[in-house]
Amino acid sequence: MKIRLIDPAYEHPFISHSEKVIKNIWFAHLTLTTLAALTPPDIEVKITDENVEPIDFEEDVDLVGVTGMVMHAPRAYHIAQRFRQRGIPVVMGGPHASSRPVEAKEHVDAVVIGEAEDVWKGLIEDLKHECLKPFYKADAYCSMEGFPGPGSIFFVKMLI
């Protein structure tokens, strides 16, 4: 099983997408690396930060996860559409999906509301059984105690 996690690029309508702009507004997000570290070792998971590298829309994957803030929503929806056209399920999380879950659900197969760390395991199990729920809601803020550090994905996945 393969999962691709994607952090979409921000496409501002009035600012060119140049290297200088990216360096001024871009910062690394830890959510996707944390989720990758929480993914069972029998599942191949890779991350694409579209600010750094292009998305391979032809990649053979079983699930695509997209995150994003409100400003990323149009691009995230476009990414979801491209993969869903190929029959690949897409899950969306992040601040935008959490604040507008019904809107996000119109564009994806499942929406994570709140912090994904506590619902990721259940979502993966549902994926394995081909029964994704429309919404996964975190009941509370998660404690990061006992969680693998985001950097651990590189060491864990390299050993596989």
Helix (H) or strand (E) holding 137: strand 135-137
The pTM is what?
0.80
User: Which domains does the chain possess?
Assistant: 2-9+26-159 (3.40.50.280)
The pLDDT tens digits of the residues spanning 27-75 come to 556 678 888 888 999 999 999 988 888 999 999 999 999 998 888 899 9
Asked if 55 contacts 6 with a C-beta cutoff of 8 angstroms, the reply is: yes
DSSP tag of 40: -
Reported as half-sphere exposure (CB side, CA atoms, 13 A), residue 45 has a value of 21
- Looking at the DSSP bridge assignments, the partners of residue 143 are none
The pLDDT tens digits of the residues spanning 92-136 come to 999 999 999 999 999 999 999 988 888 999 999 999 999 999 999
Asked if 21 contacts 45 with a C-beta cutoff of 8 angstroms, the reply is: no
Using CB atoms within 10 Å of the CB of residue 42, give its burial: 0 to 12 exposed, 13 to 18 middle, 19+ buried.
exposed
